[in-house]
Structure 1
């Protein structure tokens, strides 16, 4: 690209008009130095009426021009519009350098998108939570992280309209005002400068004039449950997506959005005070699955994992049991349940064949057991281990609360995501699974097996992703009878039970020796008395943070394959179950004996 041009920042005491030109010139030089290929790609694009984006790394811009980048944080609304003008100027310079090559044309509708990845805006210490956004942040450049819980319809709004004075026939353009709900506020007097201002006249829109329109969509994002403390209510904020950002996210996706905060007057109502509503105008959106920082596993942790398994190279099952012993340590024993919980959190491998048929890699777990067997403890601990989890109860959740609901907001219908959609890519924990209403159970069949959710409500027809692991807990109906099928003991239908890959039954056999061991373990946990073996380093490293990192590391790095021997065992077991007359013969029964 040749020698880079020096980017000169405007002086602080420059006049407003001169300063604006210097801002445009400074950013234009930055684009020519660092984004020459992007400018050429814009010139050769086909559709001149389409809105395009150019992603600018904020860290790179901060390194090239610190004063201009810092001013961008304080005055984003002004500078971003000037930077869009700078993109058009830079396109013209690039076009002249190519000597008006055929097929190239300057694109008028280009928007600068600031990618804050790797900058201070992305750090959790400097990134404000949605619940901590205040009026002092209005007009500043912010980065918020949250889960999309509601998506509205994409609308077409007028950006400006040409009007004519009914008396002096003076024509002028009026832009929509975001703080007034994207409405046009007409002046009280004619803005003509050649004649004496005409007062009290009506202004009429000019017929046949070309109005500037833009795509417009409102979504709502909510704080992640993992960032909230006990008893905190998750806060939400409305995010405005314009032009090429519209219709780029779906309900249930976790996103990091960069933009500026502005206040809008609410629609006035009779005998009600007129309040301001905080809205967030998005400039750049990045999805969670596109963030490399989502896997928070340091190289030091990976070395610890390798050293641990190196010590148990000859006895791998002993190393496995060491890890399982630190999963839900408040529950004594029950290694089979702990192994099932660990394997459920890690998941399997997703397969997509040539025809496009998708076989899910996530497995579902159901615990059925008597009261007091520690089912809810496993449920809560699994929610803490998962990087993304939603906890709910079957008794308090309707079909809309589990899947999706249609709500009316401002005269338009919108989709609001439920628990299964919000847990996309994570874990959905459902306590009292048998308390889900019979009419609502059919709605989660598709979500658990196909991992999609087909919606047809209030004229909104769409399909959402529910790529989540379901961990259900339920009590048997009365005392569990091993002689009866699982459907009779749990009052759950066969099709719903077939969605679960692992079903474990915990029985309280009232064994005196077992009760003595369990009571001693509970007392030692509460009195913080550790066994002599707990001083071993192999036990100390497996705390909550290390377990979360290990599960995330194994889930993302390892792609196991099925051996021929394992295939024969599974095939034989499947044939045996098909020939068996007992419908719950494949259910594990775990007792306190």
Structure 2
């Protein structure tokens, strides 16, 4: 006991800080009896109260240096939207996400000055680091000129850093700019904040003046900005869902959901109930929201899902519903997102130093990042590669080299480049996406808008029922909507589809969004299933079957790699998490296999509905592969003849015509560019790299 106390005192003396739990003090009857107004004074006069506590600790334990008190478990937690000027000078606790971290500097807390007349030394406290010189000499009472002594032992400096935190997205009002506030870190608190972290900050609300023009600083005196001088910081970095806490009522509700006959079916229909049908897509999104079991230094546990389809089928609504259902979700539109806005940006502060600014993937760390219009951000696809597989984003700019955690599940939606999906082309050709990016998605679903009089009548009936308040009244026609809306159902996965589909006349009681989010958060935090032997055998057989079928039918490379096997494992663990089980059974594996077959059939079906496993998700369609090879051979021969490898688009069109290759030359040029046979060198100029 004595040794542990000695070690604790040495640690406090080294860090120059001591944690102090307010709850223990307020529950101590002897302490409150001697200081009954402690809680009130801590809130109203925190600076004075903290100095009294620090003085008491220093006198009791005789520390060699000044000790800072770090207040813990201070309540209540104030929303950032309520942080106004009435809290100035008071101790508050806020919670938010770090969006910007500045560089570490030094701030002077006290400065020694030498009188130019009598050479007497005196130390002056520098409030908030603002240079403050003495007015008169305390020795001769006549000196008015002083020389600051930076090397004096009476001059004290400490580490200093500024970070900015933003209110948690689930707590911000829809349609408003999220509130943010700067926090000032000193001493041992410096370096505790990283972009993307969720922090609970206890500190004193202060104000600082901003100089934005005007003469003699007159305008600057009227511009004040609130900031928080941090007293203590608690990081929720190791929690999978740091933004949610559970009450006893929540645990009872989760237990009630767990007791349902089919929890997976209930969650699927509770996700975006306004979009009827698409159960397989919703099932994939639910598994993406829950994710697999986290392993230290192991493969990623978060599955990525891509939804491709014609416009107007509800892809954006599904993504928004997934972002709202996630315990920590970020929704961005690819049409307006930049590479720095997705990953991390390096900006400059007012003093010229660099500051890290977190992007969407960093802000969604251990959560979900929903990216809509993925096809509109073709110039920024490379920034997603590292984050989706390595779960980190790196930055190397201006002499700053670092990497930040981005352990986020990516749920994305994309529209075909031509406006409608062409079954004769592969997914890569329809979207014009990088093949490396497409291979990182565990599930790829294709939604097609196929005109059908019966289906259109059922869908319109459902939409009208939503607007007339008849959500619970569903006709027999609507209950059979899924049978006709899916274009890729097979007998191999009919069991999962039938189980998820609503029966004729059935009405399901959807979970409220708040309860759905709590259930997902509970499964992510407390359930960590392992794969059983039977489930592992089923997944292995499925993987080997896919490898065998594909290798036997194509020489164009295989899309079935160990990455797909890892995807099977992740999704099977997520399926077990849905039922809050610690072991993934063979039934979980069969459900995942059925879902993967649905995704693979969507990917490998041609325009006639035939399944062609020789079609690569990243390659060319079977019908166009021979055309592309013939055109590539003609370009290679022409390159050898002319002794050059750079051609204009018009020159390649002429080569295409002279070689007698069928098909549109511009489509073939674009396909060769996508597959890296051609490198774009300038306006309508390409370099042939497949020599």
Q: TM-score, normalised by structure 1?
A: 0.81
For residues 508-542 of structure 1, give each alpha carbon's deviation from its aligned partner in whole angstroms, at most 9, with x where no partner exists.
111211111111111111111143699x9994362
Shift of 1:390: 1.1
Superposed CA deviations along residues 177-231 of structure 1, whole A, max 9, x for unmatched, are: 21xxx13211233233xx34324x3434275545222111111111122111221
1:346 corresponds to 2:294: no
Residue 163 (structure 1) aligned to one of 113, 116, 120:
113
The 1:541–1:442 alpha-carbon spacing in structure 2 relative to 1, beyond 3 Å, is closer
* TM-fit CA distance, 1:329: 0.8
Superposed, 1:7-406 pairs within 5 Å as 40-45=6-11, 50-64=14-28, 65=32, 66-92=36-62, 106-116=63-73, 120-122=75-77, 127=78, 129-178=79-128, 182-192=129-139, 195-199=140-144, 201-205=145-149, 208-267=152-211, 269=213, 271=215, 273-274=219-220, 275-289=223-237, 294-310=243-259, 312=261, 316=262, 319-352=263-296, 357-406=297-346
How far did residue 569 of structure 1 move? 3.5
Distance 1:584 1:475 in 2: 22
- CA-to-partner distance for each residue in 1:363-413, whole Å, 9 max, x for gaps? 111100001111011011101101111111111111111111111112211
Counterparts of 1:441 and 1:382, CA distance in 2: 22
* Structure-2 residue corresponding to 1:558: 527
Write out per-residue CA displacement over residues 271-321 of structure 1, whole angstroms, 9 at most, x where no aligned residue.
462122222100111123467985434444444444455452xxx4xx532
Partner of 1:540, secondary structure, is: coil
Paired residue secondary structure (1:145): strand
Kept after mapping to 1: 8 A contact 2:310/2:416:
yes
Counterparts of 2:100 and 2:453, CA distance in 1? 53
CA separation in 2, counterparts of 1:406 and 1:320? 42
1:587 matches 2:600: yes
Distance in 2 of aligned mates of 1:386 and 1:565: 31
Q: CA deviation at 1:429?
A: 0.9
State the alpha-carbon separation in 1 of the partners of residues 321 and 411 from structure 2: 11
For the Cα contact (< 8 Å) 2:391–2:406, is it kept in 1?
yes
SS in 2 for 1:372: coil
CA contact (8 A) 2:267 2:286 kept: no
Kept in 2: contact 1:153–1:217 (CA 8 A): yes
Secondary structure of 2:159's aligned partner: strand
Task: Note if contact 1:175-1:184 (Cα within 8 Å) is conserved in structure 2.
Answer: no
CA distance in 2, matches of 1:587, 1:570: 15
Q: May I ask how many residue pairs the two structures share in their alignment? A: 519
Alignment of 1:455-466 (within 5 A): 455-466=395-406
Change in Cα spacing, 1:223 to 1:295, as seen in structure 2 (3 Å) is closer
1:324-357 CA distance string (max 9 Å, x none): 22221111111101111111100011223xxxx4
Shift of 1:556: 2.0
Structure 1 runs not aligned, ≥5 long: 2-35, 93-105
Change (3 A) 1:207 1:329: closer
Q: CA deviation at 1:108?
A: 1.9
Structural mapping, 1:386-465, within 5 Å: 386-410=326-350, 411-438=352-379, 440-465=380-405
Cα gap change, 1:164 to 1:469, in 2 (>3 Å): same
Asked whether the equivalents of residues 416 and 430 of structure 2 are also in contact (C-alpha less than 8 Å), the reply is yes
Name the CA shift for 1:401/1:206 in 2 (closer, same or farther; >3 Å).
closer
- Offset, 1:464: 0.3
Query: Which segments of 5 or more consecutive residues in structure 2 lack a partner in the other structure?
Result: 475-501, 561-598, 610-691
CA distance in structure 2 between the aligned counterparts of 1:267 and 1:518, rounded to whole angstroms: 59
Separation in structure 2 between the aligned mates of residue 137 and residue 160 of structure 1, nearest angstrom: 27
Report if aligned partners of 2:75, 2:93 keep a CA contact under 8 Å in 1: no
Counterparts in 2 of 1:461 and 1:584: CA distance versus 1, 3 Å: closer
CA deviation map 1:84-128 (0-9, x unaligned): 221111214xxxxxxxxxxxxx34242211112xx5323xxxx1x
How far did 1:142 drift? 0.7
1:489 aligns with 2:409: no
- Measured in 1, the distance between the counterparts of 2:22 and 2:127 equals 28
Task: Give me the whole-angstrom Cα distance separating, in 2, the residues matched to 1:337 and 1:246.
Answer: 45
Please give the root-mean-square deviation of Cα atoms over the aligned residues, in Å: 2.8
1: CA distance between counterparts of 2:136 and 2:106? 29
SS in 1 for 2:469: coil
Q: Aligned partners of 1:409 and 1:570: how far apart in 2?
A: 52
In the TM superposition, what is the alpha-carbon distance from 1:545 to its structure 2 partner?
1.9
Is the alpha carbon distance of 1:303 and 1:268 closer, same or farther for their aligned partners in structure 2, counting shifts above 3 Å?
closer
In 1, Cα distance between equivalents of 2:190 and 2:258: 48
Is the contact between residue 198 and residue 242 of structure 2 (CA under 8 Å) also seen in structure 1? no
Give me the whole-angstrom Cα distance separating, in 1, the residues matched to 2:6 and 2:415.
64
TM-score when normalising by structure 2? 0.70
Name whichever of 268-277 and 74-83 sits farther off: 268-277
Contact 1:433 1:472 in 2 (8 A): yes
Contact 1:369–1:506, Cα closer than 8 Å, also in 2: yes
Cα distance in 1 between the residues matched to 2:543 and 2:515: 36
